[in-house]
Structure 1
């Protein structure tokens, strides 16, 4: 392209003011820069847009012919600039979260984001880690908040915050007052656990490595509340994120159990596609997550 928008701005300003000094002042340019821009525009196309009488610039026939087209072009350029600037503001987001995060952490973060940005809309897709990772990889979600570890060449996995799984039972269950549990006790009870593919199950299997083939897994459920109700009903022992159990522990409906020698610590992660543009909204969402 042999002309710039700046050159066209100088042309219009000079056409309006009929003086290059005033045109330069209007555009916050030096007089020499404005004169050079106008001269370059005319030289590139071997044309003359003004009749010059002393310091006064008078549009000639060609200048008058082109002025409305230049006005329209610059108006379109301004509209495009405004559209681009809007994307510098936090906008709508498609967020995926695993069950523990989606039900107990993400909603509060959503509320904060939408309070800060009333025109922004956030959609929340709650599924297990494997499903969230697939949707992020296929650009169906802008970001995933997951409990499990994810490995894929297209995905960037960023540590977010620490978490801990807790083994628990109902308040009336036989192990409620048992103190520290031995491996033999862990193998003797029925378990109600999250399904395979979930981050919680991944962390549980890792923590009880060596015992899993012998354990009595009575139920595998996709929802944390269903697991809590089943355990509270006395069907067996469960293991979930501490963030999902605090209310039940405080009410006394469920009781935490001590399992020494087993590491139930884990991390929550942000998952994004490596080629995903980090918009202002996405950056703001991550910031709110870290503050939560």
Structure 2
């Protein structure tokens, strides 16, 4: 075999950081050793895996084609080493979640996962749908848990569970307590909503089809708690996942606004690269999610 697992590690770390020095730091190597390992790999096969763009190293077309295979080979080799040593660990797992899932659901799943696999290393990144999808596509996350819809040939979408958005207001709001709110009344409100690129905003825009251009959107915020605080302060009405509003409704600090003529239903999905090898940690996480699908 003309290549080593260490060379694959350097190749993948360099692909992540687009910089040999940072790749060397990640792998606890000297910069010269990492650079030499990468150069030797390219020379052995007379290929160019990176294009040099200033101080950055960007994957060449061949490098992009080989990255998924290299990721898979390295993960399988790590699992093989664990099996040889009789280890019970499932390794590490990098999860990305959109805000509603990350703030209200993912932590409980991580706790359940760690209870089953105490030595597992799990990291969680919380961002909007567009960011999570990009980071999964770029191999920076193993799996994504998203509220929005994506259309990417690189990513596989797995339906996880159903969810519904809810329009809400402060208890003192004029619409509070009404049995039904008309479209004309919706257009008369000041709205505080999530930012473009979020799954919640995507669903809101779809639900308000035909009205969207007439809505008075006064604030676009990146965090659900900030939207809830703004609505509680009487600055307008909001629309968020019902999951994020349970406690506020129970306290009475916010109240639901009934809009039955609009469809606020949506799916929560898991996403992964189609060509990525599912490690033991990934397989166990998918099984955990399936057992917590709400079905």
2:175 paired residue number:
175
Structure 1's 277 and 88: CA in aligned 2 closer, same or farther, altered over 3 A? Answer: farther
What residue is the counterpart of 2:225 in the other structure?
A: 225
Name the structure 1 match of 2:242: 242
Return the alpha-carbon distance in structure 2 between the equivalents of residues 80 and 197 of structure 1. 36
Aligned to 2:103: 103
- The residue number in structure 2 matching 1:127 is 127
Structure-1 residue corresponding to 2:82: 83
Structure 2 contact 82–89 (Cα < 8 Å) conserved: no
Cα distance in 1, alignment partners of residues 254 and 137 from structure 2 = 38
**CA displacement at 1:155 relative to structure 2:** 0.4
| Counterpart mapping for 1:1-292 below 5 A | 82-84=81-83, 89-292=89-292
Deviation of residue 271 (structure 1)? 0.5
Q: Partner residue of 1:60? A: none
Structure 2 unaligned runs (5+)? 2-77
Structure 1 position 83, deviation (Å): 3.2
Structure 1 position 173, deviation (Å): 1.2
Supply the RMSD in Å over aligned alpha carbons.
1.9
**How far, CA to CA, are the matches of 2:174 and 2:93 in structure 1?**
47
Q: Deviations over 1:111-170 (max 9, x none)?
A: 111111111111000000000000000000000000000110100011100000000001
Q: Distance in 2 between matches of 1:208 and 1:188?
A: 14
Residue aligned with 1:108, SS: helix
Contact 2:89–2:120 (CA<8 Å) still a contact in 1? no
Could you tell me which runs of 5 or more consecutive residues in structure 1 were left unpaired when the two chains were aligned. 2-78
Aligned length: 215
Question: Are 2:89 and 2:119, in contact at CA under 8 Å, matched by a contact in 1?
Answer: no
What is the alpha-carbon distance in structure 2 between the residues aligned to residue 140 and residue 213 of structure 1? 36
Looking at structure 1, the residues matched to 152 and 80 of structure 2 have their Cα atoms a distance apart, in angstroms, of 37
Q: Distance in 2 between matches of 1:202 and 1:87?
A: 44
1:90 positional shift: 2.1
Indicate the SS of the match to 1:220: strand
Distance 1:81 1:217 in 2: 54
- The structure with more radius of gyration: 1
Partner residue in 2 for 1:23: none
TM-score, length of structure 2 as denominator length: 0.70
Secondary structure at the residue paired with 1:109? helix
**Change in 2 beyond 3 A, CA 1:88/1:117:** closer
* Distance in structure 1 (CA, Å) of the matches to 2:168 and 2:191: 10
